[in-house]
């Protein structure tokens, strides 16, 4: 069994590999959290003195204030703030969830054509003792890791590795789970020379005909065809503060207004947040994150992910291979209906 980390060890890993700060709207929360940490230290040192009870009361007051302030801030997030949360440098990545949700993970490498792309990780694992294949896009922490993972932007060999794992899962009749967190496929010259578009297109074709059940989860950014290359699934789920879009807000702004600074305006128009996409029927379900987003309690968020995956996989495994293929086809055929408003005379 793969040892599972904890939120404390996750935060320690983030702290030792990065020097990231917080988002601007998180500043009041960070200030309170620092104050609470100092009070905890002081209360531990004064446990045997007469001031211990007073410090414990002050600590309880601050913790209640933190809970109330978190509720207040996160109840009125703008679309752009949700985009920022999906990219939060302390946000858990695919391997953080794989470590906590699945057991006995054995990572498989390489596409058997060119090389191994560390921006996509995947392999065999188990959930509640049942074997399956998990594949995810992986970002890095710190400069060295980000260079290794190419900032979560896969090259063609990454998508071909994913295709190899899709076909492996089908050969052994194993369900597939994908965890998606990418700004998009890598647009560099070397990727284009090695057939980036073809690699993504073949993945779409392979996923469409897979005779095994597949669940895709957007855990952070779901950017463009780079995300869709792992997301032609029977069920597509999203974490609460993830985003999923055909183009990044910055890319949309540069195309429409020739000004990347209008990214916030573009984000409002694109309808890329989990609640909007659920209402549009693009995703089936939103998975709740911990209060204050996943990076504040990765264990709780991972537990929510595990329970949701259990339910969807249980429902899908009650179906037949023909139903999996047909259901996947019908799911994507019905996306994007357009309804025109009438002209006032009852005509559409």
pLDDT in tens, the chain (348 residues): 444 566 666 555 555 444 457 899 999 999 998 988 888 887 765 555 556 677 778 888 888 999 999 999 999 999 999 999 999 989 999 999 999 999 999 999 999 999 999 999 999 999 999 999 999 999 999 899 999 999 999 999 999 999 999 999 999 999 999 999 999 999 999 999 999 999 999 999 999 999 999 999 999 999 989 999 999 999 999 999 999 999 989 989 999 999 988 999 999 999 999 999 999 999 999 999 999 999 999 999 999 999 999 999 999 999 999 999 999 999 999 887 766 666 555 544
> What would the two tokens of residue 151 be?
């900032």
> What would the two tokens of residue 326 be?
């047909």
Return the DSSP state at 273.
B
Q: Are 222 and 180 in contact (CB under 8 A)?
A: yes
pLDDT at 19: 42
Nearest Cα neighbor of 83 from 216, 197, 253, 335 is 253
pLDDT at 36: 87
Q: Which residues are CB-neighbours of 251 under 8 A, at least 6 positions away?
A: none
The angle subtended at Cα 18 by Cα 151 and Cα 89, nearest 5°, is 55
249 sits in which H/E element: helix 249-256
Q: At CB < 8 A and 24+ separation, what contacts does 202-205 make? A: 202/159, 202/160, 202/163, 203/159, 203/162, 203/163, 203/166, 203/229, 203/230, 203/232, 204/228, 204/229, 204/232
pLDDT at 16: 46
Distance CA(159)–CA(155), nearest Å, equals 7
pLDDT at 17: 46
Nearest Cα neighbor of 139 from 109, 95, 86, 73 is 95
Return the DSSP state at 180.
E
Q: Give the CA dihedral 244, 178, 6, 26, nearest 10 degrees.
A: -10
CATH class label, 83-333: alpha beta
Distance CA(96)–CA(5), nearest Å, equals 8
């Amino acid at each position: 069994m793969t040892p599972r980390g904890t939120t404390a060890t996750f935060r320690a890993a983030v702290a030792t590999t990065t020097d990231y700060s917080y988002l601007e709207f998180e500043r009041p929360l960070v200030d309170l959290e620092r104050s609470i940490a100092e009070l905890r230290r002081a209360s531990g040192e004064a446990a045997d003195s007469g001031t211990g009870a007073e410090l414990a009361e002050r600590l309880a007051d601050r913790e209640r204030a933190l809970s109330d302030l978190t509720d207040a801030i996160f109840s009125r997030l703008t679309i752009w703030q949700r985009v920022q949360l999906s990219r939060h440098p302390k946000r858990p990545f695919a391997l953080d969830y794989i470590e906590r949700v699945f057991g006995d993970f054995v990572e498989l490498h390489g596409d058997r054509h060119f090389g191994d792309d560390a921006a996509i990780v995947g392999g065999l694992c188990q959930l509640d003792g049942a074997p399956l294949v998990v594949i995810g896009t992986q970002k890095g922490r710190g400069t060295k890791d980000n260079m290794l993972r190419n900032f979560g932007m896969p090259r063609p060999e990454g998508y071909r590795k994913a295709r190899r794992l899709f076909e492996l899962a089908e050969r052994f009749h194993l369900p597939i789970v994908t965890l998606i967190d990418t700004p998009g496929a890598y647009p560099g010259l070397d990727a284009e020379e090695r057939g980036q578009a073809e690699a993504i297109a073949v993945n779409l074709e392979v996923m469409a005909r897979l005779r095994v059940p597949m669940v895709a989860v957007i855990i952070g950014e779901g950017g463009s065809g780079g995300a869709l290359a792992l997301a032609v699934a029977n069920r597509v789920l999203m974490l609460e503060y993830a985003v999923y879009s055909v183009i990044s807000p910055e890319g949309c702004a540069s195309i429409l207004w020739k000004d990347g600074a209008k990214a916030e305006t573009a984000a409002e128009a694109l309808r890329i947040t989990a609640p909007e996409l659920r209402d549009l029927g693009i995703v089936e379900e939103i998975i709740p994150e911990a209060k204050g987003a996943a990076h504040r309690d990765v264990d709780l968020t991972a537990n929510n992910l595990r329970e949701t995956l259990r339910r969807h996989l249980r429902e899908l495994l009650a179906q037949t291979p023909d139903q999996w293929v047909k259901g996947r086809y019908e799911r994507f055929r019905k996306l994007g209906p357009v309804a025109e408003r009438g002209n006032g005379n009852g005509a559409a």
